[in-house]
Structure formats: structure tokens, C-alpha cells
């Protein structure tokens, strides 16, 4: 599933193409792409056509495109997108051939870039688009990356800030961990505690911080939590710089290009290979219907 770096790469690619663009038409080819939308495909098409997009914004793994309201008034609705396991948001020229697994196409008229199309393609149909009301953030800070407005969609309101967000509360994160007896990896994957981190980057950050994934979150010292936060940020920053992690053709940017952070992985997917720090083999164990990858020598279990 795409994690923060992959979704941020998509957001950054969409932003210059959609900000200020007029939606000239919408085509819904598969209503399974609207599972989180309260209306029908026809409603989705009619509600968007003729409206303008303000920006492309992200919090955690969620993207949204705020829609213009009356002149001078803050946006009150947005198109919310979640990529699920295989969703793609692609920029295409007008009249471009349909993408494989294309579910929705949004035609745009941009004052600088001219006519464009945003295509939502999704092989496994776990992703979605929806029109959602915007609500105020609890801390009055910007709702997410890409816009200074202190609003976010209702569907995103339960999602915590991510560690790269300027408004992320380090002290609050340390307090949250001190109250959690769950394994630290489970806590890192809890999007209500900290967002944007999935299986790949959790394994990488824990390897960097020398913390076993099954260590109780509440057992971590302040120094260990600070070290872990620093590693999370370093891993996410490096993945962003390298365009995210692509293991197959599903994880691509808006132009269909793959990221190459997979070549920089130290733990995830490296079962049996030597640890880049100590040379001993990386192991893989089952974890929450997924897998954890770590070095049992460098990351000793401390409960």
C-alpha cells in the first residue's frame, strides 16, 4: 500500500496542474471507485462539473482537492482521494487513450497549462474518490501539506498529523507512546497516533533506531523515542527525495514513473541478506497479517 512518500510524490505532481483549474467534465466508468462518496456516479459528475480546484493537499496517506466556494470564502468541500492498495492518480493530455483499470476521469481547463485530465486508475478497486465536507482542524493549524487553510475533509478528521508536518507535536507523540503497551511497530502503523507510516517505513525506521518491532511502546525511553522520530523523518525524507518505493508498476507518480527508494532499503524485503550494520542475516516474522523485517542482533527485544 502506498505510504506517505508515494502519496506526497503524487500530490506534488498534481499541485501545479490542478490549482486554479476549472473542472470541465467528469466521467465515472466504475462506481466502485466511489465507495466513500455518499451519492451516485451521476451525482459525482454533476456536483463537480463547472467548479474550480484550489490546491492539492495531503495528510498522511489521504489526498484532497479543495473546491472553490463563493468569492472570498474558504472552501467548504473537497474531492478526497485514497489510493488504497493499487490506486493511481495520473495526469494525461486531453483525448489520451483510456488507462488500464481506469475508473474515473476528470477533465480540466487550466489557465496556464491548458486542457488536462486527471485519471483515477485502480486495479484492485480498494481506492476511492469522494466529495466530502471540510471541517476545521482541532489545533487551528493547516489541515495538511499544500494549503495553509486550517480545514480538512470529514473523512480525514480522525487521521493524526505525520512526522514531517510542521504542526506535528513531538511531546504529544512521546506522551501517546508512554500510554501504549502495544508493540511499537503496531503503534507506528496506527494512523490515529501518527500518520503516513506503513509497513515499509516502519521497518526501516526501527532498523535505523535499533529498536525491535515488538518492543512495548511504553517501555521506550524519551531518548529512544526521540531517536525513533529522527529515524522516521530521515527515512521519509530520503524516500521522498528518491520518489518513493516501487516494487511493481502500481506505485507510480502522476506521469507513470516509478520511485527508486527500494534500492536504499536496509530491512524491508531483505530476508536472509546481511544486515548493512553488522553483517548478520535480516529475518522476517509474521506481524498483523503482514511481515516485519529486522536484524535480531542490532534490534534486541526489550519489553
Annotated binding site for DNA: which residue ranges? 101, 124, 180
CB contact set of 241 (below 8 Å; sequence gap of 6+): none
Residues 213, 287: contact at Cβ < 8 Å?
yes
The CA–CA distances, whole Å, from 250 to 204, 257, 280, 296 equal 21, 10, 32, 32
* H/E segment holding residue 110: strand 102-110
Cell of 145: 501539506
Distance, CA of 280 to CA of 214 (rounded, Å): 19
Grid look-up 527500494 returns 262
- The CB density around residue 186, as the number of other CB atoms within 10 Å, is 16
Binding site feature residues: 101, 124, 180
Which residues are tagged catalytic? Answer: 2-3, 61, 290
Grid look-up 476545521 returns 136
Distance, CA of 130 to CA of 143 (rounded, Å): 18
Residues 81, 89: contact at Cβ < 8 Å?
yes
CB contact set of 287 (below 8 Å; sequence gap of 6+): 185, 213
Selection from 120, 106, 131, 121 nearest residue 37 by Cα: 131
Distance, CA of 93 to CA of 114 (rounded, Å): 10
**136 three-state secondary structure:** strand
Amino acid at each position: 500500500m502506498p505510504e506517505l512518500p508515494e502519496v506526497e510524490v503524487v500530490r506534488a505532481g498534481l499541485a501545479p496542474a490542478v490549482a486554479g483549474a476549472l473542472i470541465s467534465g467528469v466521467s465515472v466508468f466504475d462506481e466502485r471507485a466511489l465507495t466513500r462518496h455518499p451519492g451516485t456516479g451521476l451525482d459525482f459528475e454533476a456536483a463537480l462539473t463547472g467548479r474550480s480546484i484550489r490546491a492539492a493537499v495531503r495528510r498522511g496517506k489521504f489526498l484532497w482537492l479543495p473546491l472553490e466556494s463563493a468569492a472570498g470564502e474558504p472552501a467548504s468541500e473537497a474531492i478526497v482521494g485514497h489510493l488504497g492498495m493499487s490506486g493511481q492518480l495520473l495526469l494525461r493530455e486531453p483525448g489520451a487513450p483510456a488507462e488500464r483499470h481506469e475508473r474515473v476521469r476528470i477533465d480540466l481547463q487550466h489557465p496556464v497549462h491548458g486542457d488536462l485530465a486527471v485519471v483515477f486508475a485502480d486495479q484492485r478497486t480498494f481506492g476511492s474518490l469522494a466529495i466530502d465536507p471540510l471541517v476545521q482542524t482541532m489545533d487551528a493549524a493547516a489541515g495538511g501539506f499544500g494549503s495553509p487553510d486550517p480545514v480538512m475533509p470529514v473523512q480525514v478528521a480522525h487521521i493524526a498529523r505525520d512526522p514531517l508536518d510542521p504542526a506535528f507535536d513531538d511531546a504529544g507523540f512521546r506522551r501517546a507512546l508512554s500510554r501504549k503497551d502495544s508493540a511499537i511497530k503496531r503503534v507506528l502503523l496506527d494512523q490515529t497516533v501518527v500518520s503516513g507510516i506503513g509497513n515499509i517505513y516502519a521497518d526501516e525506521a526501527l532498523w535505523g533506531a535499533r529498536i525491535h518491532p515488538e518492543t512495548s511502546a511504553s517501555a521506550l525511553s524519551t531518548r529512544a523515542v526521540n531517536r525513533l522520530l529522527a529515524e522516521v523523518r530521515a527515512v521519509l525524507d530520503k524516500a521522498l527525495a528518491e520518489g518513493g518505493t516501487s516494487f511493481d508498476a502500481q506505485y507510480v507518480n502522476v506521469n507513470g514513473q516509478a520511485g527508486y527508494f527500494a534500492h536504499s532499503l536496509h530491512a524491508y524485503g531483505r530476508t536472509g541478506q546481511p544486515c548493512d550494520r553488522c553483517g548478520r542475516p535480516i529475518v522476517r516474522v509474521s506481524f498483523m497479517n503482514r511481515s516485519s523485517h529486522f536484524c535480531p542482533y542490532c534490534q534486541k527485544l526489550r519489553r
